[in-house]
Amino acid sequence: MSTPKKVVPLRRVGTHGPDVSVLSLGSWHTYDRMAFEDSVAMVRHAVDLGINLFDVGVYGFPGHPPVFTDVLFSAIVRAAGISRDEYLLSAKLWLEPYPEMSLREQLEKALFRVGTDRADLVILGDIRRDDLDLNQLAVDLAELEVDGIIGCWGVNNWSATAIKTIRDHALQAGSPGPQIAQLKYSPCRRSIPDGAPFAQVFAEGITMQASDILEGGILAGNKKPGREIGRDPGGVREKIVEAADGIAAVAAELEVTPAQLCVAFTLTHPSVSTVLFGATKMQQLVDNVNALELVERVGAERLRELLAPFWVDADVVNPEGP
């Protein structure tokens, strides 16, 4: 079987980050829900299509059943014959145990589980506490950058103010600061990425990784997901369920799947460097990659017009962010 043509283009992360594929593959409870041989085939195909960024986090929590999706990823790339220089690893760092557990200790454990000695990108988890020392956090991240354990770093669902604050501390510590903001973004959740506060963040060179683009599968047609999905800022999930039918109707008119349409929408944001999605089937991967053709065929402006009626968190969620 011939190797497919690389069709997924690259965009730069921030001002100091690597060139990453505009589509990136996540691992939140994905590989541990797949047959191993299927996951190997899917990841191999993703790399062959040009996807080079893989978000691989440690998603187990005390008191919950253990998960091994990150450990499986290390076996998947070996079985697929993918060398370390063929992909970029994005790892998650959680702020709940910090600083009692240092970033270095947490990262070393995560890298051990995934079978490598460095992360090209790390994403800091949500801020869910009031006593976080952003200055010390920036200093610790700068040390990891100097040591070469991480290439660059970003944040997940932080407010625009918190991003600007840690960026100032990071510059003082000799680091270029956060390069990417991972934000919930979909035709339904737009208030934060499309708002004025984050327009200023993006103007400073920080780019966006669009995440939770299908609302846990709801916008792809699965209105009652049987697994854990992300938080619901603004309490608008029921409205998103209602909007799913309208989005599906637009997709049908364009002769694409609802998932393809949502992926295509997120690619229209001018500050997006990569769109993160999970897949547990080869067809999901192929469909999402085909969203690139949809953007080219319909055009960014028209796609945004078609999906404007489904923006449900307008005037509900503060565009400043959490």
**CA quadruple 242, 247, 249, 252: dihedral positive or negative?**
negative
Burial of residue 113 (CB within 10 Å: 0-12, 13-18, 19+) is buried
70-97 pLDDT tens trace: 999 999 999 999 999 999 999 999 999 9
User: Radius of gyration over alpha carbons of the chain, in Å?
Assistant: 19
Q: Do 189 and 50 contact (CB within 8 A), yes or no?
A: no
| pLDDT at position 316 | 95
Residue-wise DSSP of 19-67: EEESEEE--TT-GGGS-HHHHHHHHHHHHHHT--EEE------TTS---
The type of residue at 143 is: E
Average pLDDT over residues 225-250: 88
**Mapping DSSP to helix (H, G, I), strand (E, B) and coil, where does residue 280 land?**
coil
| pLDDT at position 241 | 94
Tell me the average pLDDT of the chain.
94
**Angle at CA 314, nearest 5°, toward 312 and 319?**
130
| pLDDT at position 127 | 95
The residues that bridge with 272 in the sheet, in sequence order, are 208
Q: In degrees rounded to 5, what are phi and psi of residue 183?
A: -130, 145
Q: pLDDT band at 227, cuts 50/70/90?
A: low
Residue 283 has pLDDT above 90, yes or no: yes
Residue 62 has pLDDT above 90, yes or no: no
Q: In degrees rounded to 5, what are phi and psi of residue 119?
A: -120, 130
| pLDDT at position 221 | 85
| pLDDT at position 104 | 97
Nearest in space to 276 (alpha carbons), one of 322, 228, 207: 207
State if pTM tops 0.85: yes
Residue 1 has pLDDT above 70, yes or no: no
What Å distances lie between residue 41 and 45, 46, 48, 261, CA to CA? 6, 9, 10, 25
CA 25 to chain CA centroid, nearest Å: 8
CA 188 to chain CA centroid, nearest Å: 17
- Measure the CA–CA gap between 260 and 222, rounded to whole angstroms: 14
254-265 burial by CB neighbour count: b if 16+ within 10 A, else e?
Answer: bebbbbbbbbbb
Q: Which two tokens stand for residue 224?
A: 């009652």
Q: Do 27 and 60 contact (CB within 8 A), yes or no?
A: no
Portion of the chain with pLDDT greater than 70, in percent = 96
| pLDDT at position 4 | 76
